[in-house]
Amino acid sequence: MRPALGPGAAARGGGGAAARDKESPRAPLRCRPPAVATVQVEDDRLRVTRWDFAPGAETGFHRHGWLYVVVPLHDGTLHIEFPDGTHATAELKAGVAYSRPAGVEHNVVNGGAAPLSFVETEVKAWPG
């Protein structure tokens, strides 16, 4: 089962940059492979999931019910789609963490040509 939660849309605290672009056309309809989620730790207070993305792989749209922290394992580029049709690009740096609050909704796609992985820690103590 795929966890309901995925990576953040933009880096915080120097982890990268994101810029929404309302003018660009929507991506054409296409079939993307799913990112692979592996839950490594879960208890009543947190869940730690490793996400592995082939080039072009996506999480699928999801809403984050908890605050979360992402630690990229590689440098890479995420393409992020939002429910209102806008999208953004976020540059990931290996080992540079970022966090996002509960309530974020998005679909996250590996926008690069190489595989991309990160570890996401969701904190159940801070639901949105």
Q: Are 86 and 12 in contact (CB under 8 A)?
A: no
Nearer to Ni ion, 7 or 72 (CB): 7
Closest separation in Å from C-beta 22 to Ni ion: 21
Among candidate residues 104, 58, 96, the one with its CA nearest the CA of residue 78: 58
What is the Cα–Cα distance from 31 to 89, expressed in whole angstroms?
Answer: 20
Nearer to Ni ion, 13 or 25 (CB): 13
What is the Cα–Cα distance from 90 to 99, expressed in whole angstroms?
Answer: 13
Using CB under 5 A, list all residues that contact Ni ion. 6-7
Closest separation in Å from C-beta 59 to Ni ion: 6
Closest separation in Å from C-beta 16 to Ni ion: 15
If one counts every other C-beta atom within 10 angstroms of the C-beta of residue 41, the result is 10
The residue sitting closest to Ni ion, measured at its beta carbon, is 6
Nearer to Ni ion, 80 or 112 (CB): 80
